[in-house]
Structure 1
């Protein structure tokens, strides 16, 4: 059975039918893991980075090959292919791996700074782009075969190719043979000439009723980076050259769903601040500021890109993206919901684990609490996951696999003797004061959510305000 080769109209139903036939032939335990493979949620308690370390140990007995294996993984996110290549050809074969159309590249990520002055002091002359609040997509186009092939990958590299039929024709019309680019797809109201909030855009993420959703919630796709063009990788090309090539590929037409992102050259903090408030007035989140000579570094978060987001008085200048780790049974009215609060954590890359940062009990309506309970029950596990660090006094009534990412806003970050985020033998942990739920980040994997390192940086910025 090769589900990947089933394409076109009705492909979801055909894939489901084939899968049902397979499951009917399996014992219950085998069926459970086949379903988890399809969902991409094996829940084994480790990340792909642990697999990369393991491959290095397999080859040389230590982690010395991690950097080379990770580089190959960053440009070709297929751990099975990486393992096969290493096993059959050794590290030389890994060093010769290259970008392949149809296999995603790990996206670069932006750092954050609290003010326009901090950013200009850091970067000097730079460019700023609007920060749209939509789906970050990586688009792969291959027109070398008998018919064009288009793949859309999400921020966390899930294949979303069937979800955007309205974007297929505009992508096919681009005059290239092969292409990998990045863009932000965002809901757009042509009647008011305004962007829709993320809560509306996210309604396009579905497996059924896709054509109807495309009509009800039309998208515009704003391309902001070019990674591969006509067989040539562009990762080592400076940003300004990649952007110049990108602009040449997209015809400027307001009626075309495919656009390229605007860009403004910045030389002073005043310029950046004015442009930032201009974007806020248009209903956007803020701006992303980029170093003009920066290469594209897959899988890396650094100061080549810096985001500046809306600040709210009396609150952190940014929200925190957290993984939900479990929930607590409710009391009073919430006892009828079966949930009264939930535990969230951030990711510690150094230890490859999630560490607790807050117990959240506000920000949801009655309906939203019930919906959250349903989501968490689907991710429930019988014991604390091995990649979760939590003080016993915070153990939830129900543990969940750390796979649901939510947006949390808080008044401030404080030091905590109880929460484990950033906690060491000599340092207290970090916690969120007055945390409240703001929504889900279905476009992010738990490992791509806020990290302990970022939380520490936000704590330091907060102290200097």
Structure 2
């Protein structure tokens, strides 16, 4: 499993850190062993077949056995990573469809770490040393590249990222070891806008041009991560974070309606603040049901609400969390099939590292 970064601010001790572009795609662990390629998502789902453009990595590495940490992205016409464009490559089943989509929206692999090489475990090495080894592999082609980085001058690096409209920066301590599956302050992600994953727990019925589909998604995040819930001996609670209707195309609305239909749930999965819910009752809430189910009130109208099992994860951009924990100005960015819903928690910006 990949090492993870915490949300935070630029560090005070710039010279002790490397600055990388935060790629807007899906995380991937890449395994090349005995001439065979295997690509896995962050939650260990196999992606190899989905991205035929990366098959040439085996030849590029010769007879080397290697494990790489990378991000799969789709670039728009301006050469900027577009997560929405990458959506067309996710979850495909047919070989023909995969081939056609690969031609229409080719993916690029941005490689930023190497954790095993020719039977040697590199995770205990410092970041700077692993980067030297990665550079020595010569991995450059139209379909993959080693992600650039710089040491120090983080303010200028972030300013350049913002100017180009990119997602943000990942700051890594030069002496940091690679800790698989761990999220630590050794790696910090700095975003120009608030953006994170949320779990879909329901939706409102669409009106007007959205009639017959979805009006808005009801979204939330868990109160703690699974390991913390296990330590406490208590179940995770799904906390309501509001609704998102902006950013949903007609094609996406139809896709979501199809995906959510078999997940129908007779009660709210949210712990508090769920539209149409009554007082909290433990992990779930009771719903005051009417003939057409729970309702969401707003703008002088009542809209039926449908709850679903919290299995799907989406990415949402927003300006801030309000005092009651809901999102201000949210916009849907896409589904995250590479993320486990149980791992989705609220991300809060840590204090400036080194202060």
- Whether the 8 Å contact between 2:217 and 2:245 is mirrored in structure 1 is no
Aligned with 1:162: secondary structure?
helix
Q: Does 1:401 align with 2:309?
A: yes
1:65-144 map, 5 Å: 106-114=1-9, 116=10, 119-121=11-13, 125-143=16-34
1: distance between equivalents of 2:326 and 2:242? 9
Q: Of residues 108, 112, 120 in structure 2, which corresponds to 1:220?
A: 108
Q: Does 1:194 align with 2:76?
A: no
- Which residue number corresponds to residue 355 of structure 1? 238
1:251-330 map, 5 Å: 251=139, 253=140, 255-266=141-152, 271-310=153-192, 317-330=193-206
Distance 1:174 1:361, change over 3 A: closer
CA shift for structure 1 position 195: 3.2
Which whole-Å deviations, capped at 9, do the CAs of 1:337-357 have from their partners, x for residues lacking one?
Answer: 254333211122233524223
Which runs of no fewer than 5 residues in structure 1 stay unpaired?
1-105, 311-316, 417-429
Rg (Cα) greater in structure: 1
2: distance between equivalents of 1:381 and 1:176? 51
- Which residue number corresponds to residue 300 of structure 2? none
Q: Of residues 262, 276, 280 in structure 2, which corresponds to 1:378?
A: 262
Normalised to the residue count of structure 2, the TM-score between the two structures is 0.79
1: distance between equivalents of 2:56 and 2:317? 39
CA shift for structure 1 position 196: 4.3
Aligned with 1:227: secondary structure?
strand
Which whole-Å deviations, capped at 9, do the CAs of 1:166-197 have from their partners, x for residues lacking one?
Answer: 111133320344211111222246xx661341
CA shift for structure 1 position 322: 0.5
What is the number of residues matched between the two proteins? Answer: 313
**Worse overlay, 192-201 or 342-351:** 192-201
1: distance between equivalents of 2:117 and 2:27? 19
1: distance between equivalents of 2:47 and 2:214? 32
- Whether the 8 Å contact between 2:4 and 2:187 is mirrored in structure 1 is yes
More strand by share: 2
Aligned with 1:337: secondary structure?
coil
Aligned with 2:311: secondary structure?
coil
Aligned with 1:276: secondary structure?
helix
Which whole-Å deviations, capped at 9, do the CAs of 1:251-271 have from their partners, x for residues lacking one?
Answer: 4x4x442311111011xxxx2
CA shift for structure 1 position 378: 3.1
- Whether the 8 Å contact between 1:337 and 1:370 is mirrored in structure 2 is no
- Which residue number corresponds to residue 40 of structure 2? 153
- Whether the 8 Å contact between 1:360 and 1:437 is mirrored in structure 2 is no
CA shift for structure 1 position 334: 7.0
CA shift for structure 1 position 335: 7.9
Aligned with 1:305: secondary structure?
strand
2: distance between equivalents of 1:218 and 1:341? 30
2: distance between equivalents of 1:138 and 1:230? 16
CA shift for structure 1 position 227: 1.2
Which runs of no fewer than 5 residues in structure 2 stay unpaired?
230-234, 279-284, 288-293, 295-304
Q: Does 1:247 align with 2:142?
A: no
- Which residue number corresponds to residue 342 of structure 2? 447
Q: Does 1:433 align with 2:321?
A: no
- Which residue number corresponds to residue 321 of structure 2? 413
- Whether the 8 Å contact between 1:128 and 1:289 is mirrored in structure 2 is yes
Higher-RCO chain (CA-CA 8 Å, sequence separation at least 6): 2
1: distance between equivalents of 2:190 and 2:239? 26
More helix by share: 1
CA shift for structure 1 position 239: 0.9
CA shift for structure 1 position 283: 4.1
2: distance between equivalents of 1:230 and 1:149? 14
Normalised to the residue count of structure 1, the TM-score between the two structures is 0.61
What RMSD over aligned residues (CA atoms) do the two structures have, in Å? 2.6
CA shift for structure 1 position 367: 4.8
2: distance between equivalents of 1:356 and 1:108? 26
